[in-house]
Amino acid sequence: MRTLKLFNKYTREDVHAIFDGSTTKFTRGAGVWGLHGIVKIPNRERDFVFFVTIGQDKLGVEFKENITRDGILTWQSQKRHTLNHPRILEFIHHDHTRHNIYLFLRTSKKSEPFTYMGRLAYIAHNQDVEQPVHFKWQLLDWDEEEPVQDLMLDTTEEDVVDEEIIGNQLIETALPEPKERRERVRNFNSKHVDFVGKQKENKNLGLSGELLVLEYTRSQLTKAGRQDLANKVIHKSVVEGDGAGYDIESFKEDGSPLYLEVKTTKGGINSEFFISPNELAFSEEHADSFQLIRVYEYISNINSGKFYKIEGSLSDKLNLKPTQYSARV
């Protein structure tokens, strides 16, 4: 039996063998696995396989399924689906931390195999359109550096940069207003939504944010007349690795220590980000000298973004949600 690997190619029969080969028989061109675009995985609540063909208009509507350079899939359901259809409600309330939707994708050639693109997380749906319902999903395992062939990428909107934005800069903003988490209210035109599971593994993005903050910190000390302190700032996560509980060892203007932890996402000011138990503990133990530098709306091709600061113990300032558990009997 073949195993599931990102960006490998699979026929419908291959996918059936992986997810359902022990319980049902595959029939080419017929049945759930041989024909349907949406397949529920047996004995797994709210787990699905999507077979998607992009690059063509479907069902007589002016709508094209596509993937952007940031790994956002624009997708439509079956034509019979209304906004209140039970299957659609399952998709709208899909929790990618508890359940899985596996995406298999190809272009308009119906004879070619599908490419496995990884798992999906819900971003938004168009609340004004049904039969079919239009969705946006984030590919959690997306890697824009991976040479994926035969994909039609819509990169026009996400890659446009305002000419007035200056490269290699950080703009400080106020903290966002605390608010209760509301489910499924995102705009269908959202361009960047970040997910914990996706962002915590994005080493390049994290390092880019740290380097930007490192230079910003040194420049601020220099402007304050403390070139001596600016020369002593250390990029701790590079020198020592990620175990210290912070990324940058800096100073306040009076010379007292200041520990900076940098969190960077391409998403907006309210995007989720990942905090490790070690970082949380360090912020509690060094509350008087700890700052979280939250870089958001980071634009990689001009190396710029916005940021806000959170000072002190993070457990007192953040709405924390457990995503993993350490267990024993």
Alpha carbon 301 to chain centroid, angstroms? 18
- Which stretches of the chain are DSSP H helices? 12-20, 31-35, 86-92, 196-199, 203-223, 227-230, 236-239, 277-285
Q: What angle do CA 321, 265, 257 make, to 5 degrees?
A: 80
Side chain identity at residue 250, one-letter code: S
Supply the pLDDT for residue 183.
Answer: 46
Query: What is the pLDDT, as a whole number, of residue 144?
Result: 61
What SS3 state is found at 245? coil
* pLDDT (mean) for 124-141: 89
Asked if 126 contacts 200 with a C-beta cutoff of 8 angstroms, the reply is no
- Provide the sign of the torsion angle of the four alpha carbons 52, 53, 59, 61, taken in this order: positive
More confident residue, 84 or 323: 84
> pTM score, two decimals?
0.63
- Which domains does the chain carry? 9-139 (2.30.280), 170-316 (no CATH)
Q: State mean pLDDT over 88-98.
A: 90
pLDDT at residue number 187 = 58
Query: Backbone phi, then psi, for 310, in 5-degree steps?
Result: -125, 120
Distances (CA, A) of 44 to 20, 40, 101: 11, 8, 11
Beta-sheet strand order (sheet of 234-235): 170-172, 304-311, 290-299, 257-264, 248-251, 234-235
Give the residue-averaged pLDDT of 23-44. 90
> How far is residue 216's CA from residue 264's CA, in Å, rounded to a whole number?
14
- Note the pLDDT of residue 172: 94
232 has a pLDDT exceeding 90: yes
**Is residue 191 within 8 Å of 158, Cβ to Cβ?**
yes
* pLDDT digit string, tens, across residues 181-231: 444 445 565 555 556 555 444 678 889 999 999 999 999 999 999 999 999
pLDDT at 204 (0 to 100):
82
- Distance CA(26)–CA(34), nearest Å, equals 7
* pLDDT tens-digit series, residues 235-261: 999 998 878 899 999 999 999 999 999
Dihedral of the CA atoms 231, 232, 238, 241 (nearest 10)? Answer: 180
Q: Is the pLDDT of residue 170 over 70?
A: yes
